[in-house]
Structure 1
């Protein structure tokens, strides 16, 4: 713990414990709406196939590894200083979002996911400006948090469209689906370029493929646009890898 604020390290650990414990408690205690029930109220505009959400297993594993590493690593690196507090906000937001959705607080869920995504992206931007991290910091800090940030990026867009549809602000038509995909491609591609991070881009592409699978029957144009956007982000990720080498 030398050179690191104990309170901050414990805050990261508690945020991770809460983020993992809340879905487990909801599954075993059956309180409130499930995430699927919450989303089904407005997923007629744009949705991802259920299998896409299996990425949370990998995200939770990365969170746990990050929590342990940041608690025990010494000395503290500039990368950890840059991302620690933003990661507390983002990871705590994962659990808070589940509580908001469980009690059908639709606009609160939008606020939580946007703050979480913004905090994690800004933290990663600061980390990139601070230093070129050692491989161990990449593996146990930057990559797990980049995976989370990428998934929160596409999840934010789908969440916003879901709530707008459920509230009757927009109709479940193709135009809004296309706008959502375009925003994800543009914003995700820009952030991925700034971060030079294939790991950030990977979950966005994964989610877009999930959109393609889910929307093939009802919105084939949106489905193919999502597939094209996913391929574009994969191409960006591969170009970033080649440039890094």
Structure 2
């Protein structure tokens, strides 16, 4: 079966948009930065700034995926399952930057949650359609998109807490931080188990460790809970790897 050319071009366009919009914001200095946006309500739960360096790896994976599906990939069940969901999720990365730049708080929540849910749905479809995809599909499709999905999972939780705090709907209390971390562990663990994907779990654990670093002075209970949750996910990822071997 041949690949729909329009779909392949839309995947490439989504990647260009996801990378170009933050680059334009950095060079043209329009709107609020992501840090300024988050600082309005990050008193409940925050991650250390270094955690966002993962975007370098995510962008690299996006580019590799876009080129592969456009020029080299056959039309496999894996690609059919994730291609359209990836357009939504990757476009959402650029759209979120615009929403945060113009301080559209609830829009930012909708964008990131829809992006995460759509991409997870696509990956679950891909696993059902091809439980053992070819290595090149894993390397250039499943792994890059799983990395993005994992990061969007924990980023969604932090984004929601940030907006709820900024809107005055919740107070920056320890209980809300604990709820947020618990939800991340529960959702991330369940989805990671369904996907059988250590790659999906890795950015969630990375983000939880960054929460530990950021919160250990002000919220030590939440910090240690985040560290414990990260260890649980790492243990789960290692168990998956051992099972495959």
TM bracket, shorter-chain basis: over 0.9
TM norm structure 2:
0.99
The match for 2:31 is 32
The match for 2:205 is 205
Q: Which deviations, in whole Å up to 9, do the C-alpha atoms of 1:168-214 show, x marking residues without a partner? A: 00000000000000000000000000000000000000000000000
Give yes or no for contact 1:147–1:203 (8 Å, CA) kept in 2.
yes
Task: State the alpha-carbon separation in 1 of the partners of residues 26 and 115 from structure 2.
Answer: 23
Q: CA deviation at 1:26?
A: 0.2
The match for 2:9 is 10
The match for 2:140 is 140
Deviation larger for 47-56 or 68-77: 68-77
In the alignment, structure 1 residue 54 sits paired with structure 2 residue 53? yes
Q: Which runs of 4+ in 1 moved over 2 A?
A: none
TM norm structure 1:
0.99
The match for 1:118 is 117
SS across alignment from 2:117: helix
Q: Which deviations, in whole Å up to 9, do the C-alpha atoms of 1:55-107 show, x marking residues without a partner? A: 00000000000000000124211100000000000000000000000000000
Task: State the alpha-carbon separation in 2 of the partners of residues 82 and 74 from structure 1.
Answer: 14
Q: Gapped runs of 5+ residues in structure 2?
A: none
SS across alignment from 2:43: coil
Give yes or no for contact 1:3–1:74 (8 Å, CA) kept in 2.
no
Map 1:87-102 → 2, pairs under 5 A:
87-102=86-101
Map 1:150-189 → 2, pairs under 5 A:
150-189=150-189
Q: How many residues align?
A: 244
Task: State the alpha-carbon separation in 1 of the partners of residues 56 and 72 from structure 2.
Answer: 24
The match for 1:80 is 79
Q: CA deviation at 1:244?
A: 1.3
SS across alignment from 1:163: helix
The match for 1:149 is 149
Closer/same/farther in 2, CA of residues 38 and 74 from structure 1, 3 Å limit: closer
Q: Considering only aligned residues, what root-mean-square deviation do their CA atoms show, in Å?
A: 0.7
Task: State the alpha-carbon separation in 2 of the partners of residues 196 and 233 from structure 1.
Answer: 12
The match for 2:66 is 67
SS across alignment from 2:218: coil
